[in-house]
Amino acid sequence: MNKQIVKLKSIIAPSFHQVHRDIKKGLYTHHWLKGGRGSTKSSFISIEIIFNMMKDSKQGKVTNAVIFRRVKDTLRGSVFEQMLWAIEKLKCESEWEVNYSPLKLTYKPLGTVILFKGADNPLKMKSIKVAKGYIKYIWYEEVDEFEGYDKIRNINQSLMRGGPKFCVFYSFNPPESQRNWANMEVLETRKDKLVHHSNYLGVPREWLGKQFILEAEHLKKVNHLKYEHDYLGAVTGTGGEVFTNVTIRKITDEEIASFDRVHRGLDFGYASDPLHYTVNHYDKTRRRLYIFYEIHKAGMSNSSAVETIKQENKSNNRIVADSAEPRTIAEFKKLGLKIIGAKKGPDSVEHGVKFLQDLEEIIIDKERCPNTAREFLGYELEKDKEGNFKAEFPDKNNHSIDSIRYSLEDEMKAKKWLV
């Protein structure tokens, strides 16, 4: 590296110090960095890529980087300038060659490169090659603008080859809607994935400037919800969220052992639609629902589903299932389950959802029930052609919600709700 010594703490915000240490230790492959305006997440990523590529070269590792935006035309004025900023901050301008057509940065001592690509031409994704070493660093800036994680997964599968270790960054300002794929993706857990949230409050005020702080404080006064979204990076919603009483947290084994009002429900799968089995506890006094077990799988045979359910329901306690499938219920009974059909009344979906909305709190353990968490958080009213919310609840991506409605049949009857 350049002889001029730069203390990283002087150019990395305190909110990212631990992330830097995690990257240094190689703890994670996938780094999802989300946050509001002024959080410096893009600045942090650009510094990490430049710094670590140069560090790799000192250790005899030949590594390259590729940086993506959804649209190619946005590269020049965003991530390319951001990388030039990082080079300047690290005081290593003499070690990098800058090319504007095509956009490329070359580390002179080794000949390794940073490439800039738009994802709007998928045919070119598989043709990305480097002359030396392998592509270790990948950055998807404004990742929520991409069409979905499936497309990103395809790009990763093409690029993440030929090396022992990879470091992928995904940065974005969370969209308002929880249903947005990027907001849902950060809820999914895996051992090699870090999810980090930041905002401008974790950045030295002098870095942001007086005017930035004034604008933020003004918006906080006149439109607090907009402030939370824009500056704090909060998922504030679109106004169409069905369940605003959901809490995502770990439900401990000790809590589960104390539950004495446990319910089980089953929504049958059809073709590609998944079967969903739920186990939950209803605290009637405090009007809290604890959801702590699920089976969520498409393509299960009836016998396989029954055997899987029996592994959880060892005492063969009652299960309330979708009564629209009496033949399936009969077969499940023959296979040994104590199962009945839900007694549906008129407007049963509306009544059941409103019962759930009326609860003080719906607590979901997303480690145990990731699909339940995804469906409850993403369940939103749809809009008509004029942009107004439709009156009825959508009948899709609600397998867990249906199974929970069935499971709570008796509780709803006690409150004179209909399943």
CA distance 62 to 111: 9
**Tokens linked to 373:** 């968490």
Catalytic residue among 95, 142, 241, 294: 142
CA distance 153 to 174: 20
Beta bridge partners of 157: none
- The alpha-carbon radius of gyration of the chain (Å, integer) is 26
**Tokens linked to 245:** 């009483």
Pairing mode, strands 193-198 and 30-35: parallel
Residue 142 annotated to the active site = yes
CA distance 368 to 294: 7
CA distance 373 to 8: 38
Residues annotated as part of the active site? 142
